[in-house]
Chains A and B, each alone.
Chain A
Amino acid sequence: MTSRYQRKVVDALFKMAPVWAVLGALTIGAILVRAAGLDPLKVYASLVNGAFGSRSALGITLQKTVPLLFAGLGMAVAFRCDLVNLGGEGQIYIGALAAGAIALAFPFLPAPVMLTVCLVAAFVGGGIWGAIPGFLRARYSKSEIITTILMNFIGFGFVSFLLHGPLQESRGYYPQSELIPPAARLPIIWQAANVHLGIILALLAAAGVYVLLWRTAIGYEIRAVGSNPKAAAHVGIPVVRSIVVAMLVSGGLMGLAGLAEVFGVQYRISDFFSPGYGFDAIAVSLLGYTHPIGVTLAALFFGALRTGFNSVERTQGVPRAMAQTVQGITVLLLVISVILPRLRGRLRRKENASV
């Protein structure tokens, strides 16, 4: 029989699962690097250096963190309502499109007005793209996992159509829009590292998500529906509305991720401007235990991982796909850590049985 103390330690270890998942993934990554005939220590040193080693490196890390953080927060809000939003990509494109179209149509707006309007447009655009599957789920019990994926194709196809037609740059070479006017670009707040306002906005969004979920009546409803929809209905919580609102906010935050990438980094909408942030959001949100603080740390970790491996590719010759590999292994290990406690229960019964 295990003592209470032992059990407490074991429980504490399980609570730190994200940390173990990250360390485990890095260890497996090291083994893969070693198998390729390289020195893992050197590679990881170069990784840290590439992600944080200089102002410009840190700047790029933060630049990559911003959309991951917005998207990860969006996913967390959905998860808290027991919803899986796989439509992040579509919501990112539609959010960026809504904001971009406004910026291109009204280039004369003064910067503060322009930015505010564009932020609202991106949130509303992505939000509607999320709320539609939310409504279908809440009202007609259609799995949001399927409908959000399908909405991706519609959203992406629609943006692509516009980029090949009405929104295409006047030169007409590539399926991309004109550059957005300077007034609409997210201002640089730290010149030396080329860091734009997006990081502040994303951190504000993290605080906002915390307040929404744990300090407001709407968040209370979202979490209640996520925990037990039957009981929520019984105590008078409007379940349909809560699901739609959760998906609206989730999609809205995805839309802001799109805005951050287009208005902060690329300055134009193109066919493939998002490298899959909508799906990376799952990893970010899970690793962050769907809590804004955790999600912030997780977004920073994955942002650094990408930036770092970009530099490792240049200096050590390890392909940057390693970043995706480590990210994937992290999530796998996390998922295992969720299953493990159950397995542990079964093992304990077995162990008892064989006494």
Chain B
Amino acid sequence: MESLLRVENVTKVFGAVVANDHVSLEVRRGEIHALLGENGAGKTTLMNILYGLYRPDDGHILFHGERVTLSSPKDAIRAGIGMVHQHFMLIPVFSVVENIVLGLGSLRRPLLDVESATRRIAALSKEYRLDVDPHARVCDLSVGAQQRVEIIKALYRGADLFILDEPTAVLTPQEVDDLFAVLRRLVQEGHAIIFITHKLDEVMRVSDRVTVLRDGAIVSTVATSETTKEELARMMVGREIVFRVARDPISPGASVLEVTELDIDDEQCSVALKGVSLSVRRHEILGIAGVGGNGQNELAGALVGLYEPTQGTIAILGEDIRGQGPKGVIKLNVGRIPEDRQAQGLIPDFTISENLIATHFWQSPLSKWYLLNLPLIGRLAKKLIQDYDIRPPEPTLLARQMSGGNQQKLILARELSRDPDLIVAVQPTRGLDVGATEYIYAELLKHRQRGAGILLISTELEEILTLSDRIAVMFQGEIVGMMDAGSVELEEIGLLMAGVRPQQDAVCDEVRR
């Protein structure tokens, strides 16, 4: 098949870090080419080079067989390279047409040529069966549909090559199926797709060939049909990884968290959480599955004392935490791993040791009469840095200068070193590579073994299935299903996550009858 894109010996260096080391890659017309690698393997750097955001220090790029210089996204778009970012670049209150023509020239300047644009979008939507209404407002569309708007946007700008950055991260299993169908149609029409991911299942399902990156260099490019998940995993991390974490069966103990009939209204006073009841016992991990934005944030916020429930109770170790605030929850010895390390977990301008004391600095012996006990804090920091293998082991380093994995270790050190009775972990491995992920899993399981009760909120189904003893599924602020991890049917969870309730539908049918 004809080759569309050739990357030849591209090298990109940032300071002392070689982000791309003589990377060569060929993408052919009509193929879905998966780009697989851990975080920090150099995928993003390579894509930013292809999209004109970085200039390679060495090497060159051939597109349509010609050497191209891509010094801005505009150049990339003009050449025919379209990017679908993980976070969509759409303006919510604009219509689909408005979003698509945004930033493009118009034949009727200064007026927009909306009519002809609408016709073309409708035609593209029909041709590729994207099912997008040009007049719909973007904020009224589902996440999957917004993604298709991004794809149409790239098509409209004449893209031959599509780069999709972790496109399935925000989708339900059903939406993933739809997306893959769309991708298939695109390549049938002669387009090519680079599919960036770290999910092996998806690589196997959708790609034609796969290129594995590790430490900035290409490990290998193989045809998907001639490889296995295990082989790819080995190439990706350079060693065998255990997908099934060893989880000793322990019977759960006394309850540490009781949530009953919890309602929360969010800032816009719409209902964010409705009638949520759950309990977590010692030696137990309760996994909350669900697509992001279905009330998980509000639930987590309420459990750590940031949100006040509108109705219902939350009891930790039998104590009602309403009105106690985050400090009250901390006093009950709860370990909290927040979703967003940068925005919630860490104080970026504080040093490692200052961050390590953030939850308890006000308490003796860390401070007495409001004076911080710096020598003691220094010793504690040293010990925690060693125990949790935080790198670099430099107590005075600022948190924002650390890598994501080490930031997370810092949070674990702070939140788990006091052997909490309850742990609330939200997306604990978001953005982390396989090694760091494994470490976090091992830590959580260690504390489960010790006797902590753990509430794990994650949008990664794989993670929920790997760790949980019981699984609850959230959809639109409600718990729509609760099951033992042993008896789980993947399809059932998938349907629940997408808002399909088998039993309820059956009941409705009966009522109708």
Contact = CB atoms under 8 A, between A and B. Distances in A.
Say whether A and B bind each other: yes
Interface of A: 1, 4, 7, 215-218, 220, 223-224, 227-228, 230-238, 349, 352-355
B55 A355 contact: yes
Interface stretch (B96-104, B343-351, B481-489, B500-508): B343-351
Given A216-B372, A227-B350, A355-B55, A235 B326 contact: yes
A233 B306 contact: yes
A232 B361 contact: no
A153 B493 CA distance: 63
B304 interface: yes
A230 B344 contact: yes
Interface majority SS (helix, strand, loop, mixed), chain A: helix
Interface string B324-365: 011101100000101000011111111000100011011000
A7 B16 CA distance: 12
Nearest to B359: A235
B306 A215 contact: no
Interface of B: 13, 15-16, 54-55, 57, 71-72, 304-306, 325-327, 329-330, 336, 338, 343-350, 354, 358-359, 361-362, 367, 370-372, 374
B426 to A, nearest CB: 11
Contacts of A236: 305, 325-327, 329-330, 359
A116 B161 CA distance: 76
Contact of B327 (A216, A217, A238): A238
Contacts of B338: 234
Interface majority SS (helix, strand, loop, mixed), chain B: loop
Given A1-B57, A4-B16, A220 B372 contact: yes
A140 to B, nearest CB: 15
Contacts of B71: 353-354
A306 to B, nearest CB: 33
Contacts of A220: 354, 361, 372
Contacts of B361: 217, 220
A235 B330 contact: yes
A234 B367 contact: no
19 contacts: A1-B57, A4-B15, A4-B16, A220-B361, A220-B372, A227-B348, A227-B350, A228-B343, A231-B343, A231-B348, A233-B306, A233-B326, A234-B338, A235-B358, A236-B305, A237-B358, A238-B327, A349-B55, A353-B71
Nearest to A234: B344
Contact of B348 (A1, A228, A237, A353): A228
B95 to A, nearest CB: 32
A334 to B, nearest CB: 19
Nearest to B373: A215
A235 B346 CA distance: 9
Given A4-B16, A224-B347, A353 B370 contact: no
B347 A228 contact: yes
Contacts of B54: 352
A354 to B, nearest CB: 8
Q: Which 6 residue pairs are nearest across A and B when measured between Cβ atoms?
A: A236-B327, A353-B71, A227-B349, A236-B326, A352-B55, A235-B358
